[in-house]
Amino acid sequence: MLEQSFYDKTDEILSRYPAQERSLIPIIHEIQEAFNYVPVELLPYVAKHIGITETKAFSVASFYERFSFEPKGKYIIRVCDGTACHVRNSLPVLERLRSELGLSEKKHTTDDMLFTVETVSCLGACSLAPALMVNDHVHPAMTPEKATEMLKALREEASVHE
Amino acid sequence: MSRITTQEELNALQGKFMSEIKAEPIRILVCAGTGCQASGSLNVYEKMKELAENTEIKVEFALHVQHPHVHKSGCLGFCEQGPLVRIEPFGVLYTKVKPEDCEEIFNETVKKGEIIHRLLYKNKITGEECFNQDSIPFYNGQTRVVLRTCGTIDPESIEEAISAGEYQALSKTLFKMTPDEVIQTVLDSKLRGRGGGGFVAGKKWQQVASQPVTERYVVCNGDEGDPGAFMDCSIMEGDPHRMIEGMIIAAYATGAHEGYIYVRAEYPLAVKRLTLAIKQATEYGLLGDNILGSGFSFNLHINRGAGAFVCGEGSALTASIEGKRGMPRVKPPRTVEEGLFGKPTVLNNVETYANVPQIILAGAEWYRSIGTENSPGTKTFALTGAVRNTGLVEVPFGITPREIIFNIGGGIRDDKKFKAVQIGGPSGGCLTEKQLDEPLDFDSVKKLGVIVGSGGLVVMDENTCMVEVARFFMEFTHRESCGKCVPCREGTLRMLEILERIVAGNGRMEDIEELRTLSDLIIHTALCGLGKSAPLPVVSTLNSFMDEYIAHIQDKKCPAHVCQKLKQYVIEPTKCKSCSKCARGCPVQAIDGKPKVPYVINQDKCIKCGACIETCPFKAIYVA
């Protein structure tokens, strides 16, 4: 069972959209932004509100790559593996991030919920390849060494906030 | 601000905003596109703002002193040299500006008009300093029509857009043209869709306008998913009003009153600026009910994508706006007949709409004077990869790839040898050295077996393995296949398996025939454009780089030394000083040796990570 606060926040999101099928994707976007993931328990709740079946809501939410049913870390690192980044060696950057954080192709989020590492097809920052994005911020011209420094800086930033 | 209710009011407002901008004695434009922001341009902007508040300049023609004006601008295209700062009225362009440079810029350039030489771009071949944009080879080979205002106005200010003449084309269509005349002008211009297919835009509009159903929609495809392409992103970020204006004109021409912009969620800045632009345009009465008092109404909404490449396909895109899984459907009926919510829909991409206002203002004939006979106008390209100058470029159709890569792009990075240029992303193919002098337009490149596509140009040098590139694209399309039709869902997986086998050194000669058979099958039977074009990168590399496939299969070698499993790291005994650095850095203890005896890599243990090459101080390790 989710805490009541999840439903309260969802109610607030739902109140801003017409109760129609076409509101489904924008609502799931907002849910993911509010909680950093899409708690699967909320889908029947949303479906009922906008008048579609549970299965339909689940089929849509699971279709789109960007929506995650798993909680994500505080810092979501999206390593670009688009063509331009790929030919300028984005893979060693990804490998360094994974090895430093003990993550893999299967395990995306660190146990302390600080970091999630994913790949993305293109960030549109091709002229600064290889690039990666931490939450909404693009980091240009990455190297494995810069990736290590970046993690260090993010860890420091996180400890200051706590 | 109040709503503009007549054409005259719009003209008066344009004049007012123009004189306000002219009255700014010094205008500092800091590029705030995704690229320059990534390089830290917002810090430069903040610093400039702070300095501007404390700086007063005497202006000869004004009685009072003024502060310099600092603005954010859209993408200037030369992202690699960012953050870029342009200072008007001198027109000087500074590159790679850091916050620490700002004070000097104020003391020298802003106050005294002196140029800071170290911040100027230097021609990479001649070493010459380039004072302004026009003297940089990257820019002087370009024709900027769509990107004309990109980088010269603040994309977050509708006042600057209006002063630059935007919404004048809208005003002309609403008050001086009938919907049919608008369609005829677009038809006459021969404007073709910039999303990849190259379908004549005016024909689409005409078909929608002639449908018996009166509820119609105008939709913009901003789901630019091709890896290696960011043209539409820059247009949406750099001058969102131009594209919006194009959409309103399309709506007027086809009788639509609702419109949607579908943007990738990976472009948060584009979403932010479009949202702001729509809000501003609505407040000024340029969008919404009774636009400019003409009686015509049009509302515009933004839908964010959610990371599905297939949503760039028309019927998948409209399904996604409707709140469904983004899966294409069988056609016909086509989008012009039954599109969004089952109604006739004009669906064009960002760049196509952004071309419209200038066609309306300057006329179809002017437009046809640019480019080639059947591909008029310009095309924006994202020039990336192994080229010296990467960035966003706009060139007339008919230019050769050689001109783009070697004149504008400055040639291949680190003086390496050109191998191929990938055009059209995962739906396109590669052009080789001998195809570089062919004209670049919709029909000519089709004859070469590739497509213009949305506009990604990824340059590859001798260090790129073409088999691995084919595998990369196949992995991409397989991952992005929606799974609805079997040829695409299963076919791309089988092709990927074969390519993975080849790059791992386990390929068989029969695999080549198998790849060709599968390609043929998928091209002819897949449901949508994604599937139909998925095998093209493989077909194109098979045609042009068969020798590389054979080297991988028969000799078990990767000629470009890229494929990990076919690499062998070797220590050159004559260069090795037995310092043991490599052995200590090896993560799997694959390197053995004794003092004064050259070290050796145990090939059975080596995982080919390359750590030893990086640590060797004597460059004694190489890839065989």
Contact call for residues B356 and B45 (beta carbons, < 8 A):
no
Number of domains into which chain A is organized: 2
Quote the pLDDT of residue B10. 95
> From the list B323, B325, B386, which residue is nearest A22 (CB)?
B323
Domain segments of chain B as ranges: 22-136, 166-368, 378-461, 466-553, 568-623
Quote the pLDDT of residue B91. 87
The answer to whether position A85 is within a domain reads yes
Name the minimum distance, in Å, from the CA of A60 to any CA of chain B.
5
Residue of A nearest to B309 (CA): A121
**Which band of pLDDT confidence, cut at 50, 70 and 90, is reported for residue B62?**
very low
Q: Determine the CATH number of domain B568-623.
A: 3.30.70.20
The structure's pTM equals: 0.92
What digits encode the pLDDT tens for the residues B519-574? 999 999 999 999 999 999 999 999 999 999 999 999 999 999 989 889 889 999 99
In this structure, what CATH number is given to the domain that contains residue A8? Answer: 1.10.10.1590
Q: How far apart are CA B497 and CA B494, in angstroms?
A: 5
Do A131 and A101 lie in a common domain?
yes
Of A38, A63, A88, which one is at a domain's C-terminal end?
A63
Contact call for residues B347 and B339 (beta carbons, < 8 A):
yes
Q: How far apart are CA B475 and CA B478, in angstroms?
A: 5
The answer to whether position A133 is within a domain reads yes
Question: In sequence order, what are the residues at sequence separation of 6 or more whose Cβ sits closer than 8 angstroms to the Cβ of residue A130?
Answer: A79, A80, A85, A86, A88, A89, A90, A93, A141, A142
In this structure, what CATH number is given to the domain that contains residue A146? Answer: 3.40.30.10
Q: Would you call A136 an interface residue with chain B, using a CB distance cutoff of 8 Å? A: yes
Question: In chain A, which stretches have pLDDT less than 50?
Answer: none
Higher pLDDT, residue A137 or B624? A137
Q: Indicate whether B416 pLDDT > 90.
A: yes
Lowest mean pLDDT among B20-29, B153-162, B179-188, B304-313: B20-29
What digits encode the pLDDT tens for the residues B32-59? 988 899 899 999 999 999 998 887 775 5
Distance of CA B412 to the CA centre of its chain: 20
| Percent of chain B surpassing pLDDT 90 | 76
Q: Would you call A121 an interface residue with chain B, using a CB distance cutoff of 8 Å? A: yes
Distance of CA B30 to the CA centre of its chain: 20
Do A42 and A10 lie in a common domain?
yes
The residue count for chain B: 624
Report in angstroms the alpha-carbon separations of A16 from A10, B244, B363. Answer: 10, 24, 43
What digits encode the pLDDT tens for the residues B354-407? 999 999 999 999 999 999 999 999 999 999 989 999 889 999 999 999 999 999
Contact B227 A86 (CB under 8 A): yes
Q: What is the mean pLDDT of residues B115-129?
A: 89
Of A63, A84, A99, which one is at a domain's C-terminal end?
A63
Lowest mean pLDDT among B124-133, B207-216, B245-254, B547-556: B124-133
Degrees, nearest 5: CA angle B398-B401-B406: 125
| Percent of chain B surpassing pLDDT 70 | 98
Q: How far apart are CA A24 and CA B435, in angstroms?
A: 48
Structure tokens of B424?
Answer: 């059209």
ipTM of the shown complex: 0.92
Contact call for residues B366 and B143 (beta carbons, < 8 A):
no
Do A156 and A133 lie in a common domain?
yes
Quote the pLDDT of residue B163. 95
Q: Determine the CATH number of domain B466-553.
A: 1.20.1440.230
Candidates A121, A135, A138, A143, partner chain B, best to mutate (most B CBs within 10 A): A121
Do A55 and A91 lie in a common domain?
no
Quote the pLDDT of residue B58. 59
Q: Indicate whether B468 pLDDT > 80.
A: yes
Q: Indicate whether B271 pLDDT > 90.
A: yes
The answer to whether position A154 is within a domain reads yes
* Residue recorded with tokens 């060494």: A145
Q: How far apart are CA B273 and CA B74, in angstroms?
A: 10
The answer to whether position A22 is within a domain reads yes
Work out the end-to-end distance of chain A between its first and last CA atoms, rounded to an integer number of angstroms: 27
Do A56 and A32 lie in a common domain?
yes
Q: Indicate whether B65 pLDDT > 70.
A: no
Contact B37 A63 (CB under 8 A): no
The answer to whether position A70 is within a domain reads no
Q: How far apart are CA B560 and CA B467, in angstroms?
A: 10
Structure tokens of A64?
Answer: 């789109």
Do A110 and A135 lie in a common domain?
yes
Work out the end-to-end distance of chain B between its first and last CA atoms, rounded to an integer number of angstroms: 69
Class of domain B166-368: alpha beta
Which of the four CATH numbers 3.40.30.10, 2.40.50.140, 3.40.50.10580, 3.30.930.10 does domain B22-136 have? 3.40.30.10
Quote the pLDDT of residue B472. 92
The answer to whether position A83 is within a domain reads yes
The answer to whether position A69 is within a domain reads no
Q: What is the mean pLDDT of residues B100-114?
A: 91
Domain range for A40: 4-63
Class of domain B378-461: alpha beta
Do A13 and A86 lie in a common domain?
no
Do A56 and A85 lie in a common domain?
no
